[in-house]
Chains A and B, each alone.
Chain A
Amino acid sequence: MNIFRFIADLLHLTSFFILIFKIRKSMNVVGLSYKSKELYLVVFLLRYLDLFLYFVSFYNTIMKILYISLTAYLIYIIRFRRPYCLTYDSQNDSFPHLKFIYPGAALVTLISLDYSNIGLFEICWTYSIWLESLAILPQLHMIQQTKECENITGHYMASLGFYRFFYILNWIYVYYYTEKIQWISTLGGILQTALYSDFLYVYLKSQGRKIEI
């Protein structure tokens, strides 16, 4: 554990609480993509299958359980909890996200380099890395449809975007001291941050004013 990874994890955790705060305060879920949340739930459920395989640390275990449960809770609020779910904008949450869930899974299974002893978990983990890198697309699509996004939604998306950026700093740090590199997570993280970069640029430039896309 180093400071970059710790900041990254806290940013990630913060993004959930910003979102819960936004929904409670505004009493609506306008501008939020349910589909992105659904993808994140698949990501966490697949990646954290290792909760049943081995123990790393209390910190990791608690974070994993929080990521899964907070994502499930937000899905419940956005789609099923009244009155919030009545304001869900399904018209603009129109990204065809299911179209890359299945081809992606097939692709990862096919290009796995280490068939012999990789095991099902390794394939699930790899897939979760790539799926996470794309999971924000429905949310980005949504704010592009509406051409603007509320400040607090912007804070939520920015903390979610900067979290992976700080993981990149963490990987650079780890590589510098140990010369170890995990290519899949590093490349997935770079792709993920790149997809956010446009938004993060606009976010930083807006400096708290209304974010227009």
Chain B
Amino acid sequence: SKSKYKKDEL
């Protein structure tokens, strides 16, 4: 899924 690859860090 797309959210698996969502990066929440900078």
Contacts and interface: CB of A to CB of B under 8 A. Distances in A.
B10 A125 contact: no
The list of the 3 closest CB pairs from A to B, nearest first, reads: A56-B8, A63-B10, A54-B6
A144 B2 CA distance: 44
Contact of B9 (A54, A119, A185): A185
22 contacts: A5-B9, A9-B10, A12-B10, A47-B7, A50-B6, A50-B7, A54-B2, A54-B6, A56-B6, A56-B7, A56-B8, A57-B8, A60-B8, A60-B10, A63-B10, A64-B10, A67-B10, A119-B5, A121-B5, A122-B5, A125-B7, A167-B9
A100 B2 CA distance: 31
Interface of B: 2, 5-10
Given A12-B10, A56-B8, 8 more contacts: A5-B9, A9-B10, A47-B7, A50-B6, A60-B10, A64-B10, A67-B10, A167-B9
